[in-house]
């Protein structure tokens, strides 16, 4: 058996009339992905980026327009959904209101003709996995949203799929319950050891649960990396701006390794960039400080400007500074850590510092 659970080779998907009455829409364009067995893999991007279409092609609800889709090394092009070794959990739980928890979970096994003793055993096993075996006789109307989501998970797991597909399954839950379910789902995936492919537009959700993340935009995969790489080492302007908060500064390469930012120059790696080229420097708000870093492992970039606003947001403060260059940047500092001087108020002059090692160079 292949070590790769799911593989997409140059997969594209277009929608539209072949008669020319309507314009063709390229929902997914030339995607290449290889997802190993046992990985928690997330497709992350805004609405309309192609992530759900990609998931539906893996599930068999849509067929690729071009390319090949393999599951466990077997080409799935043209194979209907019910013959694929996958199960899908949707945002809408789609539970049968007239059936109790046990019958909802065991419905698929019943349709397949699984004998009652085995069916009951597998239903109980699946419900124990999601900690719902104590509510086996209740109807969906007697369950909370989180409990209904657990039943939907159990219904998918009872078929013992090689790959579990999850299409924004926590979208209908409140924030606190959603965070609890994120941790539970990750622990469950580790216990089961099966491949999870998760679709979400929530960056924090993706960073919390995933082994690897594919950032998608306009039908394409822009970057695939682990959560640390996605957050700290973005490779595109879209990815840098979509994942968390990011400051962008315009710069120009003067000569090899020397960039101009306003009236200052800094040394940064410039491999593959031609002298005179305009680039964008990306730096996270938490990478900035109002005082030089002690024992900094890299040179510091100093930016001068005026403090415009300070907002208390619990664990930290968010500061807005207008630089002398005219650009606006944001700074986030934990309340238990570094503080700006007490006398610094809105409208006061200030200086910001950032280690050059925390700056990413991005081009169009």
CATH class of the 4-241 domain in this structure: alpha beta
C-alpha dist (Å) from residue 80 to 50, 66, 169: 21, 17, 23
**Domain segments of the chain: what residues?**
4-241, 245-362
In terms of C-beta density within 10 A (0-12 exposed, 13-18 middle, 19 or more buried), how is residue 37 classed?
middle
What whole-number distance in Å separates Cα of residue 150 and Cα of residue 340? Answer: 46
Which pTM value belongs to this model? 0.88
C-alpha dist (Å) from residue 14 to 30, 49, 71, 252, 253: 11, 13, 21, 39, 40
pLDDT at 94: 80
pLDDT at 339: 58
pLDDT at 262: 81
pLDDT at 145: 82
pLDDT in tens, 117-138: 999 999 998 888 888 889 899 9
pLDDT in tens, 185-230: 898 889 888 999 999 999 999 999 999 999 999 999 999 999 999 9
pLDDT at 18: 54
Strand pairing category for 74-75 and 66-71: antiparallel
* CB-side neighbour CA atoms (13 Å) of 330: 11
C-alpha closest to that of 194 among 83, 87, 70, 51 = 87
- State the CB neighbour count (10 A cutoff) for residue 310: 16
pLDDT at 17: 57
pLDDT at 1: 52
DSSP 36-70: ETT-EEEEE--TTSSHHHHHHHHHTSS--SEEEEE
Q: pLDDT below 70 — which residues of the chain? A: 1-2, 17-23, 295-298, 337-342, 364
CATH class of the 245-362 domain in this structure: mainly beta
pLDDT at 183: 87
What whole-number distance in Å separates Cα of residue 8 and Cα of residue 85? Answer: 16
Can you tell me whether residue 24 is helix, strand or coil? coil
Contacts for 1 with CB less than 8 Å, ≥ 6 apart = 72, 73
């Amino acid at each position: 058996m292949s070590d790769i659970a799911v593989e997409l080779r140059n997969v594209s998907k277009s929608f539209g009339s072949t008669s020319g009455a309507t314009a063709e829409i390229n929902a997914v364009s030339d995607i290449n992905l290889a997802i190993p067995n046992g990985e928690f893999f997330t497709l992350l991007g805004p609405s309309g980026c192609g992530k759900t279409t990609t998931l539906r092609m893996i599930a068999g609800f849509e067929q690729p327009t071009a390319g090949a889709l393999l599951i466990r090394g077997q080409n799935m092009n043209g194979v209907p959904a019910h013959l694929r070794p996958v199960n899908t959990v949707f945002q809408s739980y789609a539970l049968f209101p007239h059936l109790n928890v046990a019958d909802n979970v065991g419905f698929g096994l019943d349709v397949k003709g699984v004998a009652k003793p085995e069916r009951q055993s597998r239903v109980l096993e699946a419900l124990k996995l999601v900690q719902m075996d104590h509510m086996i006789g209740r109807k969906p109307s007697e369950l909370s949203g989180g409990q209904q989501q657990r039943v939907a998970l159990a219904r998918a797991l009872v078929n013992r799929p090689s790959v579990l597909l999850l299409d924004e399954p926590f979208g209908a839950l409140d924030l606190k319950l959603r965070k609890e379910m994120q941790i539970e789902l990750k622990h469950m995936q580790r216990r089961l050891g099966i491949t999870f492919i998760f679709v979400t537009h929530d960056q924090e959700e993706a960073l919390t649960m995933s082994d690897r993340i594919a950032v998608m935009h306009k039908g394409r995969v822009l970057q695939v990396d682990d959560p640390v790489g996605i957050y700290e080492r973005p490779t595109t302007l879209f990815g840098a701006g979509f994942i968390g908060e990011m400051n962008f500064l315009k710069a120009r390469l003067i000569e090899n390794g020397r960039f101009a930012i306003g009236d200052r120059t800094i040394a940064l790696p410039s491999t593959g960039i031609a002298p005179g080229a305009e680039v964008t420097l990306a730096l996270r708000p938490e990478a900035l400080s109002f005082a030089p870093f002690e024992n900094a492992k890299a040179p510091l970039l100093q930016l001068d400007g005026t403090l415009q606003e300070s907002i208390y947001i619990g664990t930290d403060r968010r500061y807005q500074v207008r630089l002398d260059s005219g650009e606006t940047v944001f700074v986030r500092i934990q309340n238990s850590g570094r503080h700006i001087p007490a006398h610094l108020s809105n409208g006061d002059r200030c200086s910001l510092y950032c280690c050059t090692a925390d700056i990413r160079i991005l081009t169009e």
